[in-house]
Each structure stands twice: as structure tokens, then as C-alpha cells.
Amino acid sequence: MHGLWTRFEIWLSEHWPDGLASLNPPATDEQIAGLQKALGVTLPDDYVACLKIHNGQASNSGGMFDGYEFLSTDEILAQWTVWKELLDGGDFAGYKSDPANGIRGDWWNAGWIPFTHNGCGDHFCLDLAPDTAGSQGQVITMWHDWGERERLSPSFGAWFTSYTKRVFSGDVVYSDEYDSLVNREDAELS
């Protein structure tokens, strides 16, 4: 994880210095333990290793991951709490999603831990409650108003490795229009 982040930070310093400056310092052991206790989960080791490098980004500082902001431990809990309150209030009663293989058919599940958001209620999540064909800690999409749930990767480490490869190859670029890292095709359309 350290090697990938170092290379990514070098890339950011050349292509998006403001994005590099938006990264928070490492999360402390106390912040990580507090988050896990509040969520009632044990976060995957590869994700904890990431948080120990950067505890997300400063809020409203552009999208680090495919146009999505990288959430800090405080923001993870804030976003998760909104969804949990909706779940507990019965807002999703009778609603099912259209999940990819390995993802539960819930509209939202308390075991889906958001680590990004786009400011509109959409997230990339760590799935800590996968269906039988899924893997613990897989990365999935969660859309607030659309039922599709896509499996992006079997783990956070695999997802981050794949994402940084896309960045280094030029498939993901910084866009002034979006003030975010986005797919090259999206940047060219703007």
C-alpha cells in the first residue's frame, strides 16, 4: 500500500497538486478503532493500511477516485449514519436492488461501508456483508436512486491497485471542469 501511495502522490504532485494537498494526514489507531466500534465491524486490513497513510481528503476538495471524494473516518461514519437511520426508519422496506453476483439484494445494508461519495448520495463501499458468492471486503457501488449494485473488485487492495494503474496509464486524468480525477473519455467530453 505504501509503495502505491508514494507513486500516486508523485503523480498527483505533477498533475493535480491541489489534490495532493487535500489529502489528510494518517488516521490514528484511536480514530480507526472508534470508527470500527461505531460501525460494529472490523475493517479489512488493506483498507486500514490505506487509512494509516491518508485519512481521506479534506471535504469539498475534488474527487480523488473517479470523481468521488475519498472519505475520512469522520465522514465515513457521517455518511453511514445517514443510511443507517433511513434503514432503521423503514425507508427501504419493500425495496430490493439489482445486484451483481456476490452482492446481497438489499437496497442498502449496514455492512456496506462507504469510503467515497460524490455529494449526491452515491458511494463506493466496502462490502462487509457479501452474498455467498461474494468476498468479504469486496468493493461495490451504491447508488441512492438506482438499484444496480456493481462489484468493482474482490478487495480494497485490488481495487486501489487497479485504480492507480489506470491513473498511471493515462486512462484516468485530472479535469479542471470537474476538479477531479475522471476517466479520460469523460474529461474529453467536457
CATH number at 142 reads: 3.40.1580.10
184 in any annotated domain? no
| 56 is a domain residue | yes
- How many Cβ atoms from other residues are within 10 Å of residue 154's Cβ? 16
Mean pLDDT of the 166-187 span: 95
User: How buried is 36 (Cβ within 10 angstroms: 0-12 exposed, 13-18 middle, 19+ buried)?
Assistant: middle
Q: Per the confidence metrics, is the pTM higher than 0.85?
A: yes
Q: pLDDT digits over 105-145, tens only?
A: 999 999 999 999 999 999 999 999 999 999 999 999 999 99
Report in angstroms the alpha-carbon separations of 101 from 110, 115, 130: 19, 21, 10
- Look up the domain containing 122 and give its range: 2-172
Q: Which residues contact 112 (CB under 8 A, 6 or more apart)?
A: 83, 123, 125, 126, 127, 128, 129, 140, 142
13: in domain: yes
